Chain A
Amino acid sequence: MQDHKVELSPEGADEVKYTTCYMCACRCGIKVHIKDNQVKYIEGNRNHPVNQGVLCGKGSAGIMQHNSPARLKKPLKRVGPRGSGEFKEIDWEEALDIATAWLARARATNPRKLAFFTGRDQSQSLTSWWAQQFGTPNYAAHGGFCSVNMAAAGLYTMGSAFWEFGEPDWDRTKYFMMFGVAEDHDSNPIKRGLGKLKTRGAKYISINPVKTGYSAIADEWIGIRPGTDGLFILSLIHELLRAGKVDAEYLQRYTNASWLVFDAPGTADDGLFARGENDEPQCWDRQSGELANPKTAGANGALNGQYQLPDGRKVRPSFEILAERYLDDKYAPDTVADQCGVPAATIKRIATELAHVAFEEEIVIEQPWTDWTGRKHDKMIGRPVSMHAMRGISAHSNGFHTCRSIHILQLLLGSVDCPGGWRFKAPYPKGLDSLPRPSGRPDQVTPNTPLRGPHLGFTRGPEDLLIDDDGKPQRIDKAFSWDAPMAAHGMMHMVISNAWKGDPYKIDTLFMYMANMAWNSSMNTDETIKMLTDVDPDTGDYKIPRIIYSDAYYSETVAYADLILPDTTYLERWDCISMLDRPIGHADGAGDAIRQPVMEPDRDVRPFQSVLLDLGARLGLSGMVNEDGTPKYPDGYRDYITYHERRPGIGLLSGWRGRDGKDTGTGEANAHQIEEYIKHQCFWHEEFPDQIKFYKHVNKEYLEYAHKKGFIVNEEPIIAQLYSEEMQKFRLSADGHGEIQPPDNRRDRIREAFDPLPTWYPTYEARIDGVEEYPLYAITQRPMVMYHSWGTQNAWLRQIHGQNALYISNELGRKHDLANDDWAWLTSRSGRIKVQVKLMDGVEPNTVWTWNAIGKRGGAWRIDPKSSEVKDGFLMNHLIDELLPTKTGTQLSNSDPVTGQAAWYDARVKIEKASPGTEETLPQFPILSEPPDLPQTPKVSRFGATFRKGGK
């Protein structure tokens, strides 16, 4: 027998450092193994609340992201025409001088001249504050083109939202419905959760036009027609109401179901809440037969009936209006089935199952708790039905209402923040009281002065809109105007288009971070590229005169900027997963985290957050300089994370506050705070005591705790808003009430979209004249192993998905004589692309789809311009117009009318077989030049060879 030598216990890394992943947006904890000053291995951190030791394919490919040949290495100044990719390297001092001069000029003349948009930014607590100190109203991150419909619908309805602010009770739920999840958000927690609940034998239904990824393991796949989920959900609600299967006590106590609404059509009060003392809402007490404050302990508000106030005005509980609405036959399963592509029997059966699990299989935790009124409850009752929804719901022009419909369904079942239901993640829920209103009205913007309040917020009515006396939008993206009154995350997808057009005004400098707007992050990519390079004949300058961009990699967008500030990789930086942004809290505890640099950059690059603080100091922005003009945070972002306070005692991180590091939540800044985080694996986590783990929105002890920790501004209960008075206020203005009213050409749109109860209407694309010519729905799904263009350039991941086909149903293939690998033209009202098709079974027959962001432009990302991503890959973006055809004379964006959410998945197309010809996707674009002196890309990568002793 041969004696084979196997080293069973090789020595590990020289060092293992903890930090936070950034291979997607999920913020998992990682351990980075470093050997010979190289990253050898990255694994999940077992103790981290988000991923608990596991790590997805993206996270596991971090080494290749960190070592990517596409990394920029020095600041760049454009020398060729925009889009040529011709740059020269400059040093940081010159780069920062140029940027400072451009920014200072805008600030001194009209701060609106700067538009600062930060993409997939996890440092929004810094970037938004910086923009506020600068004074421009034009700031947002990428939420407007991602999932603001989810965030806004959730926050307005119940002070929280899917994914980042809430999660299913994976350990207890018995029935789980997932709507339109594009395979990643959130990555590891969903996979862990699905594994757990299926192993326990819980039922899992996936509602998605495409059966891939998560949908593949569902007990039941509902291949719904895109944009009709709202109808399907309202039909489930119809069935539950018809059968009287709702949690009436939950509704009475924890929602505004009993709140009385004026029934006074045509008047300025119609549909508003009848309010009593201190502006408190009122209910009709079932015992006393008198008005009462529904938030008080003894209140037993009626959910039905019609009543008269002492002054004679008629009122009804909001629940009765809701029930009347959804009991209408127009929501009956038999009515909606064809539109949704879901059999009526299936809708009826699912409603039956929901009712059965919620009310016949309730779970009880013997844990006393106290509600906000002081009422003692001796146990926690759980309705073990939970839901999750994401992009497939969000990216439609009816997405806000669809998402709100899901929340109403959850609330009717009494399954919000109860055992087995869908649970809030700290620091949420937050009532509207805790959420700001947007700033940027004419009187809030002054040269050389900070903006008087935060940019992004939650409008409560027309008085909060950012418009001037003539109703004109004040932001470059038109967020919080009549076009999108509740645009809580801004509308990044409209910035380039509006700035190019000078509508509502021209800007001077566009400053962007981490968003590939000249490629996969914009609608209408081809036209966007033209806008970025279009020259104003009057000035001879570009219509968007100056573009500053920060990115770590040579993305397509770099080629369209004038000044490039090269960022580090995620392993080379400080970062803060802050309580002021989207921290790592979960249902059983609060938490936040940091990223620490585990590697030193080997290039002349700087972390964007520190660069921003440096620019702020050079500009003399308040809060960024000391009285003597010296920088307040000389050590950059690390200093800011430690010392910045938003309000006294409230900083970016909640752990180890106070001079001695003993405080959590609030407390003085602690010079050693970051050292404590590093000592504790780069995160802070505080488990809740059992009596505050559920019913947090109405749990006295939780509300006190959350207030003390600074999560919320008072201890008021967060009563869920089935019926939205905020929405009704906008609708009343459209009906001609109040001083601030929409222009006539927006009245109908506001009236339709600002329904105080969730509604369903066909998407705008579906209503365009001639839509019959485009019978198919076109959507994208995100590959589970890739996050946008970062993931698709990764040397390992591109071996998994190196190109994207257009997936169509077998049925559609037969209809158009299309076989696997045939070429086809896909045409929308605004664009045409040539693609290769693949046939499949698991797709709704009227839907075609592809993987998101795999198609690449030749010359970008340092991959060979002849690669399959360029020649065979494609973007659906070319088919999606960022504007709707105008019927009113003024242009509207292709967005949700409430929130301004980009309506990516409304796209309608037709398909035709392409005649034989060149076998590459169209359109193709000229190959970009590369920045100077980037290292050669290797023909063969032997990464890891150096870690082996005695290898062959």
Chain B
Amino acid sequence: MAEEHPRATGRRGPGLTRRGLLKTGGGVAFAGLSIAALKLPMFSVDGAKQDPAKCRATDVSATSQELIVSNWPAYIDPRKKATSTVSVFQDRTGISVQYTDDINDNAEFFAKIKNQMGSCQPIDRDIIIMTDWMAARMVGLGWIQPLDPSGIPNVHKNLIQPLRNRQWDPDLDYHAPWQAGLTGIAYNAAKVPEVRSFEELITRSDLKGRMTLLSEMRDTMAFMLRVVGANPDKFTEAEWGQAIDRLSEVVASGQVRSFTGNEYIQDLAAGNIVACEAWSGDVIQAQFDNPDIKFVTPEEGLSLWADNMMVPNLAVHQANAEEWMNYYYEPEVAAKLVAWVNYICPVEGAREEMEKIDPSLVDNKLIFPDNNDLKDSFDFMPLSDQQSQQYEGEFNDVIAG
């Protein structure tokens, strides 16, 4: 393309020439680098660890009847209706709720609030909802305010057994689960026979290039660790190495079509993929449109996770936030919510309430699992800062080519 061609036009007179521009550009770049060498701001970044006891705002809940909640999209019943859980909360308490669904991705939301939280500045939210591992990371960073147990008696009373004693916050000092779910396998029964295990998912030839995995490191690697015979609750460096090598072989063989967030569900519905690693709630919702889509809990075990309500540093309506948490742990309210979002309800007693709302959901094991079913569920071992950095990096190298 870059062939020479004779130029008929002569050089232009003074004005902007390429050479001139390059000189100026070079000069600017050089000046920039020399200024940079002088250790100006932004050269080196301080750690983002904070002390929640110091980074705390005065609670104005008593005088200002407000509450700002950030949640994931489609994670609450329609708010406009007079009978919705939010409307009833507002009527009952007089607190006006400002609700936004601006959390789409744990890592992305973390990146968004990192600069403020890391330097003890307010993010103007009273409740944020994060998945276990990110919640653990934020608690570890000291970004989260401890909750007053006397403000949330329902949470302590009604939380289902399998979600208690999580390694990262065993006494519910910092969090209250909003909804929980299972990570498992979804497949299209009209196109392929049942996919029973994760091992099958990553090896079966009829799924080659027609299956996806989740881009959340902990979701996918927990199963990979099980596949190589390790325990995600507690694994060694060597076991991690085996698991990541296995994943990298699987990717190189062309088995995996992509690593996705929520969007796998559209591909599954459109028939581009026939099986995938999936979250239970998405699958239940997709089943209403296409009953051929099935959810399996893999033979490797159950991966139970929760999205957790937490109060970030410098939130000014902590008492209101606790009132909200307490309210959503009333079985009746929880049942109303879960009838809409179809994830696993973290509240004991909601199942009985569901009889009155929608009896067809009562026996759905993916909404109200027996505590027995969940007994074998595994949890991903909490990672130290260094480990997390290393593992996320290695996982990323595999999924990003």
Q: Is A bound to B?
A: no
